[in-house]
Structure 1
């Protein structure tokens, strides 16, 4: 895994501080479970963030601070191994085995999506995306943030390849069309804010039928 396919420092610091949105925290926890060496980076960033917090003036907690803390604790996979799995996919990494799953839904030829019934943050939620070998998603951009971690298989965009444990961080400036380049299906977990957006006239015609 190259550095550019690891979680960004900003997201890791937010994760360590408990301020990352709960859906994104689920994806980051999954990445850390697949790439234990990233824990060393997390510990270093946590130390730096802790030193920075000591220099800040105290601020009152928000009204929903407890709810956010509980959601963050739920998203953290640290104790997930001790909990019985709540879904029918025992092959999933520990942070995902503690959540129930919705049914598979068709998104396009060779592409299916399944809701992870875990924490939400407004329109941001967690999904599983499974793409068969040789298939790709529609070319799209995003209405918000999309943070994706590869669980099995591999996919490529125009100029990058993402393998197991790799993270792709996308937003409304990203236009891509992930295509599976492995001999097995590619399974990913993603925190998705809003819907993907299909460019062009054809995309606008297809948009009502392509929803995650």
Structure 2
């Protein structure tokens, strides 16, 4: 079952098949960590894919496959080390705790952003966005796709409301102005492809100063 505020079927299928772009996969994995029912649905898709692989005729390995595998084993010192904490936000869902974070940057009154050092895909990268209660972003659209998952708080657009665990998909056809409607700051993780495009003459004046 796909949640009302979740990824499209096509995006979930790409995620289950392991072909979704890395930044978008981070956001989808975060959404699934917050929505166990959706995660169970994706696991069923992966099980179907696994069954398909089992029924597919095997392909012979290269003649030196075993030699290369053993060489990699021999280079492992065999020491088990406790992994260091990668970021200073242990309250984040597990998929985000795997990555280091950049410093918080001010992008407007009551709004801050920091980079998530997850794998990029061209101009597509992962960010954390924190907006204070009552604040709203400038009205904008996008050059590419933008996936946003709510971690704390809630925000509303002109047509909908998004709460913890909800995921919004937006592209160049979506023109919106998200506004925080919760009593606490709204923290989101987003996979952003390119820069947002501000609307109107004032937005065009502000555009050089708004870098996410």
Is TM (by shorter chain) over 0.5?
Answer: yes
Partner of 1:95: 95
Query: Is contact 1:139-1:175 (8 Å) kept?
Result: yes
RMSD: 2.2
How far, CA to CA, are the matches of 1:83 and 1:176 in structure 2?
41
How far, CA to CA, are the matches of 2:5 and 2:95 in structure 1?
20
How far, CA to CA, are the matches of 2:186 and 2:145 in structure 1?
21
In 2 relative to 1, CA 11–53 (structure 1 residues): closer, same or farther, beyond 3 Å?
farther
Note the C-alpha offset of 1:85: 3.1
Partner of 1:123: 123
In 2 relative to 1, CA 87–170 (structure 1 residues): closer, same or farther, beyond 3 Å?
same
Query: Is contact 1:85-1:99 (8 Å) kept?
Result: no
Partner of 2:191: 191
Q: Normalising to structure 1: TM-score of the pair?
A: 0.82
Note the C-alpha offset of 1:210: 0.8
Partner of 1:161: 161
Partner of 2:206: 206
In 2 relative to 1, CA 109–118 (structure 1 residues): closer, same or farther, beyond 3 Å?
same
Which structure 1 segments of 5+ residues have no match? 59-81
Secondary structure of the residue aligned to 2:36 is coil
How many residues end up aligned between the 2 structures? Answer: 188
Which structure 2 segments of 5+ residues have no match? 59-81
In 2 relative to 1, CA 133–49 (structure 1 residues): closer, same or farther, beyond 3 Å?
same
How far, CA to CA, are the matches of 1:83 and 1:38 in structure 2?
29
Note the C-alpha offset of 1:53: 7.6
Q: What do the CA deviations read for 1:65-115 (whole angstroms, capped 9, x no partner)?
A: xxxxxxxxxxxxxxxxx9553001111111111111111111111011100
Q: What do the CA deviations read for 1:112-139 (whole angstroms, capped 9, x no partner)?
A: 1100011100000000000000001111
Note the C-alpha offset of 1:3: 2.9
Q: Which aligned pairs between 1:6-85 and structure 2 lie closer than 5 A? A: 6-47=6-47, 84-85=84-85
How far, CA to CA, are the matches of 2:168 and 2:96 in structure 1?
18
Q: Which aligned pairs between 1:135-150 and structure 2 lie closer than 5 A? A: 135-150=135-150
Secondary structure of the residue aligned to 2:4 is helix
Secondary structure of the residue aligned to 2:7 is coil
**Corresponding position: 1:109 with 2:98:** no
Query: Is contact 1:83-1:98 (8 Å) kept?
Result: no
Q: Normalising to structure 2: TM-score of the pair?
A: 0.82
How far, CA to CA, are the matches of 2:148 and 2:83 in structure 1?
24
